[in-house]
Every structure is written in C-alpha cells, then in structure tokens.
Amino acid sequence: MSTFEREFCAKYPFTETARNYIASTGFSLEDLASGEFVEIVERAKARIREAIQRGEISTFLEGDLDVEILSYPVALVILGLLGEARLARRYAVAESKRVEELLLGEDDDVLVRVAEEAFSWRLVKERTRMGSKLIDFCMPVHQFIATAATFHDPHWKLVNKLVYDGQVHLRRTEVARLIAEEVKNRVLVRISELTSVGGEALKSLQPHLEELRREASGRMKYLELPEEGVTSEDAYPPCIRKLLEDLRAGKSLPHMGRFALTTFLINVGVDVDEVVALFSSAADFDESKTRYQVEHIAGLRGSKIRYLPPSCETLKSFGLCVEEAGCGNIKHPLIYYRRKLRKRRATSGGTEPSKEAV
C-alpha cells in the first residue's frame, strides 16, 4: 500500500481501507503477549494518556505508520478492558476532535471518502446556493438525523437546515463536525463491545491497565466523589430529589428519569440493593428486571462499564430539570452534589452525619 494510503489509514483508522489494511497485516490481539509489539502498546497508551491529560489526541505521521495504525484498535481494547465509562467517553471525544481537525484541512473528496468508508453515508459534493451563500455538500435526510438528533444546538435541528429531494445541505465545517460526532458514537460502541481478550494477552496488558487506571483517577478526579459510601440526600440536586420524591410517591418514572436517578445514586455510592429496594415502590416493579438493570448501570454486568448520570443539558432536554434558570453555573448533577458536600464540610468542620439515601 502506498505511503499516501497508509497515512490515510493512520489518520482515519476506523475506515474500511484501514480495517482491511489491519487485517492484511495479520496482527491479532493475542500477539500482544509476545513482546514484539511493545511499540504499538506504548503508542496506544500514549493516545489514551493524551486524551486523559489534554482531552486531545495527536496524529503521528513521522514514525512507523503501522505502529500508528495498529495503536488505534489496541487503544480501544485497553479502554474496553478498563471498563471506565468516564475514561471511554473522554477518549471518544478526544478521537472525534482529532478527526474533526484533520478533516477541516482535507480536500472535499477526502470528507466524502471518509463518510462513505466509515459509515456508508451517501455524502455528495454538490454546490447549492442558499441565499447569498454557497453550500458544498448534501446527504440523505435519514442518515443526517440518525447522528444529528443527539446535538442539542438548535442550529442542528433538521427544521433549520435546507432540505429538499431527500437531501440535507451542509457546509464543510458541518460535515466535519457530523463525521466527528459519529466517530465518537462508534468508538463508544466499539469500546463497550471489547470487554475481554485471551488470557495471555490480558496478562501482558495487565500492568498497563493498572498504570492507566491510576493516572486516569488522578487526573479525572473532578467527577470523583469526596468519600465513597457516604451519601447525603439533602445535598442531591433538585432534579434528583424530585425524581426520588416521585418514585416514593408511587409514580412511575419515564425511562430517562429512571436512568438519571439510578446512575446518580450508584455514582454517589448507594449500593445496588438499596437502589433496587427504592424502585420496589413503583407500580410496575419487577425485582429481577430492576436488579438486572441497576447492576448493568453499576457496571457489574454486560459491558462492565459504570454509567454516569446525564448532564444538566440532557436532563433539560428531557424535561427533567426542575430549575428553570439552572443551578448556578452547574453543568452536571454530580458536580452539584460534590460542591454542596464540600461547602457543607467547610462550614460544619467536616462532621456532617451521613444519611441513608433510601
């Protein structure tokens, strides 16, 4: 394969060309145990580290391109084994930023190629006049909304785009952003699927996992809680208190409400049994089903990823935020909780009695 093509693979390792290339090298995860591939593992770790520290990932085209290309799937495997949802997200966001920046510097044809190869998007270069401006691309409505529906910015709503003949017309910067968003989604899905590898490979990766886990927890403390197992219900944000109240009053919560409440409680250290017991007052309670779901969210099952509660923005869009004006400049319910606890500890000299959540 030409250097140009291998560079393409290094930049966009999630495309079909890259996947085929990786397959053609005969590389398999089991090889990681052999020590021959230290460089790849190190580069994979560097990717993750950069994501942890700067929230970004650089593309390294000066060294061995094969190392660069193969470090991508290896990084995903490592993240899968780590099973840290927070870290996975941070990594996915960093990958998507990396891709967006690269795409902005590419020719139009490369954008079309990446979209087609990575997601089978029928992105087309087509100049359209929109008022006094020209827009360069269009793509089918259904493919656009499948990704863009998760954006909360009103400018991304379909109703605010130029749509006709089944095509949404998009600017170049929008196309790069949309591709990047879908990269983020796919990276997260991929990480959640990669939760086990063969014994030998796992053994050789183990020390790296420990190392990264330590680094990550040091760096990403901002979402970590002050003390585990101590929960203080009156430090919960209003949205969560409302959900608890409704649940205790025997109301049935919407899906998103259940998810927000469960993830919040698990993340502030309430244990699974308590959460399950809490739901037992709901009219549609089914113990085994609820337990399964709660354990899943707690990262004890399936993907082994512990989920975080949704952000204030997401809660708002689902109508679950109860503070019209928001809670100060808080962007996440867990941050609300942490600040509140900290403030309280500062004023009460750290002798806050712990209260049961349930």
Partner 1 sequence: MEAPSLLRKLFKQYYDSCSKDDFTLRSFTEREFAFLTFDSEGMIRHKSFSSPEELLEYMRNSPPAHVYYSSAYYETPAAEEMDAKGWKGADLIFDIDADHIATPCKEEHDTWKCLDCGAEGRGMPPESCPNCASKKIEEFTWMCERCLEAAKAEVLKLIEEFLIPDFGVSEKEIEICFSGHRGYHLHVECEDFRHLNSEARREIADYVRGVGIVFEDHGFTRLGSTRVLLGPSLTERGWRGRVARGVYTVIDAIDMHAPVLYMPARDLNWLRENRQAILEALSKEPPFWAIFSKLKKQSLKELLKAAVTQCACNIDERVTIDIKRLIRMPNSLHGKTGLKVVKISYADLDSFKPLKDAIVFRKGYLKLHVKRIPKLRVGEVEVGPLEDKVVELPMAAAVYILARGAGEPVWR
Residues that bind ligand SF4 (CB under 6 A): 237-239, 312, 315, 321-323, 326-327, 330, 333, 336
Q: Is 162 in the site for partner 1 (CB under 8 A)?
A: yes
For the chain, the residue count is 358
In the shown chain, the binding pattern of residues 269 to 308 toward partner 1, with x for contact by CB under 8 A and - for none, equals: --------------------x-------------------
- Find the helix or strand (DSSP H, E) in which 243 lies: helix 238-248
Using a 10 angstrom Cβ sphere, with 0-12 exposed, 13-18 middle and 19 or more buried, the burial of residue 33 is middle
Let me know: does 269 contact 231? Beta carbons within 8 Å.
Answer: yes
Angle at CA of residue 332, ends 159 and 58, nearest 5°: 80
> Closest CB to ligand SF4 among 63 and 326?
326
The amino acid at residue 290 is T
The nearest distance, CB 166 to partner 1, in angstroms, is 2
Which of partner 1, ligand SF4, none binds 163 (CB below 5-8 Å, type-dependent)? Answer: partner 1
> Closest CB to ligand SF4 among 274 and 323?
323
> 163-192: which residues touch partner 1 (CB under 8 A)?
163-167
Let me know: does 328 contact 248? Beta carbons within 8 Å.
Answer: no
Distances (CA, A) of 89 to 101, 115, 160, 201, 230: 18, 22, 28, 24, 26
> CA 2, CA 315: separation in Å to the nearest integer?
48
Which of ligand SF4, partner 1, none binds 330 (CB below 5-8 Å, type-dependent)? Answer: ligand SF4
Which of ligand SF4, partner 1, none binds 141 (CB below 5-8 Å, type-dependent)? Answer: partner 1
The nearest distance, CB 235 to ligand SF4, in angstroms, is 11
> Closest CB to ligand SF4 among 195 and 314?
314
The nearest distance, CB 131 to partner 1, in angstroms, is 4
Q: Is 319 in the site for partner 1 (CB under 8 A)?
A: no
Contact stretch for partner 1 (CB under 8 A) within 104-112, 150-158, 217-225, 331-339:
150-158
> CA 321, CA 215: separation in Å to the nearest integer?
33
List all residues 6 or more positions away from 253 whose beta carbon is below 8 Å from its beta carbon.
243, 246, 247, 261, 282
The nearest distance, CB 158 to ligand SF4, in angstroms, is 26
The nearest distance, CB 133 to partner 1, in angstroms, is 9
Contact stretch for partner 1 (CB under 8 A) within 11-19, 93-101, 156-164, 326-334:
156-164
> Closest CB to partner 1 among 151 and 222?
151
Let me know: does 309 contact 263? Beta carbons within 8 Å.
Answer: yes
Which of ligand SF4, partner 1, none binds 239 (CB below 5-8 Å, type-dependent)? Answer: ligand SF4
> Closest CB to partner 1 among 74 and 139?
139
Q: Is 161 in the site for partner 1 (CB under 8 A)?
A: yes
SS3 assignment, position 128? strand
Q: What are phi and psi of 279, to 5 degrees?
A: -75, -15
- With CB under 8 A, what is the number of residues at the site for partner 1? 25
Using a 10 angstrom Cβ sphere, with 0-12 exposed, 13-18 middle and 19 or more buried, the burial of residue 162 is middle
Q: Is 134 in the site for partner 1 (CB under 8 A)?
A: no
Let me know: does 281 contact 251? Beta carbons within 8 Å.
Answer: no
Positions that interact with partner 1 (CB under 8 A): 130-132, 140-142, 145-146, 148-150, 154-155, 157-167, 289
